[in-house]
Amino acid sequence: MLGADSTTDDVLAGVDLTGRTAVITGSSGGLGLETARALAARGAAVVLAARDRVKLDAAVAQLRDQVPGITVDSVLLDLADLTSVRAAAAEVADRHPVIDLLIDNAGVMACPLGRTTDGFETQFGTNHLGHFLFTTLLKEPLATAVAEHGSARVVVLSSGGHRLSPIRWDDPNWERSEDYFNWTAYGQSKTANALFALELDRRWSSDGIRAFSVHPGMIATDLGRHMQAEDFEYLSSVRRTGADSADGGRAVFKSVPQGAATTVWAATSPALEAHGGAYLENCSVAEPVDDPDATHGVRSWARDPDQAVRLWELSEDLVGA
């Protein structure tokens, strides 16, 4: 029985991915690199996408040591620069005309107020808009995978942090920056990830491309590099009991293989065919929970189909798709 303690290898036991290709963003370390390792160990060719060439090359070398004989490629991708996103998508599509799995894993968390190259608030721009453009530009190789292999999937990394904020429709990019709060911005970006997967599945499922969003759990990775003492204090103040908490509200951290388990489950489980667009946690479909004290489940604002359509249309406008 899979659950919160399951690892990537538990999820993929007995799974054969030979002949399949997976593209994973943010895969030079942490959850992305573990996702790549686990999929490659089951026969998939993997394409690592990240913004640092030195780290990418090190990740490729590490994978080749861990899984001898694998097929691995890499591409530079800076999600905070739409020119880079377009170039990376073109490069990936040219070299890999069939993509079976696209894992939108990269992200930033709790940043100070900043702007992407194109002027978007850093977390909304990187976590959502960069992935929105990258994914939509790769529809053709995903559709080719459906034609050749019968299916394709997109997995978008959201977070339990989506509970911190719905989409701020009146000012999603904090153009009135005096009210900026890094955790509200992070929450909005993670809500956007969930809504993106929901609408992507609605639009593309008729083509055989299914999409899911994932809450990986709390994992100690480089994602938290921007956090200061006040950020940890804030998280402690909002934490209650629930799926990610131990007695007394203490956070329970997962290992990296446990944190990536729901991602690879989303990418491969046949049990999810009837649950396209779902938000997943602990290798299961999350229940809708709007109790403000709950630290499990998915908020209704991240499952609202009308907001998902509105976000898609806004995103197309912002990225010029």
pLDDT digits (tens, 9 = 90+) for 89-113: 999 999 999 999 999 999 999 999 9
Number of domains in the chain: 1
Catalytic residue, from 6, 165, 186, 189: name it: 186
Three-state SS sequence of the chain: CCCCCCCHHHHCCCCCCCCCEEEEECCCCHHHHHHHHHHHHCCCEEEEEECCHHHHHHHHHHHHHHCCCCCEEEEECCCCCHHHHHHHHHHHHHHCCCCCEEEECCCCCCCCCCECCCCCEHHHHHHHHHHHHHHHHCHHHHHHHHHHHCCEEEEEECCHHHHHCCCCCCCCCCCCHHHCCHHHHHHHHHHHHHHHHHHHHHHHHHHCEEEEEEECCCECCHHHHHCCHHHHHHHHHHCCCCCCECHHHCECCECHHHHCHHHHHHHHCHHHHHHCCCEEECCEECCECCCCCCCCCECHHHCCHHHHHHHHHHHHHHHCC
158 in catalytic set? yes
What is this structure's pTM? 0.92
- For residue 248, what pLDDT is reported? 39
186 in catalytic set? yes
Of all residues in the chain, what percent carry a pLDDT higher than 90? 85
Matching residue, tokens 């083509």: 207
In a domain, 251, yes or no: no
What does the pLDDT average to over 237-255?
A: 55
Of all residues in the chain, what percent carry a pLDDT higher than 70? 90
For residue 217, the domain's CATH number is 3.40.50.720
In a domain, 199, yes or no: yes
In a domain, 243, yes or no: no
Whether 104 contacts 156, CB under 8 Å: yes
In a domain, 95, yes or no: yes
What does the pLDDT average to over 153-165?
A: 97
In a domain, 269, yes or no: yes
236 in catalytic set? no
For the sheet containing 279-281, what is the strand order?
72-76, 45-50, 21-25, 101-104, 152-157, 209-215, 279-281, 284-285
Catalytic residue, from 27, 28, 74, 158: name it: 158
**Range scoring the smallest mean pLDDT among 102-116, 171-185, 199-213:** 171-185
> Can you give the residue range of the structural domain that contains 105?
8-227+256-319
Catalytic residue, from 6, 28, 159, 190: name it: 190
In a domain, 239, yes or no: no
Structure tokens at 308: 């998902």
- For residue 222, what pLDDT is reported? 62
In a domain, 51, yes or no: yes
In a domain, 247, yes or no: no
Give CA–CA dist 109/161, Å, rounded. 10
CB neighbours (10 Å) of residue 186?
26
CB neighbours (10 Å) of residue 271?
12
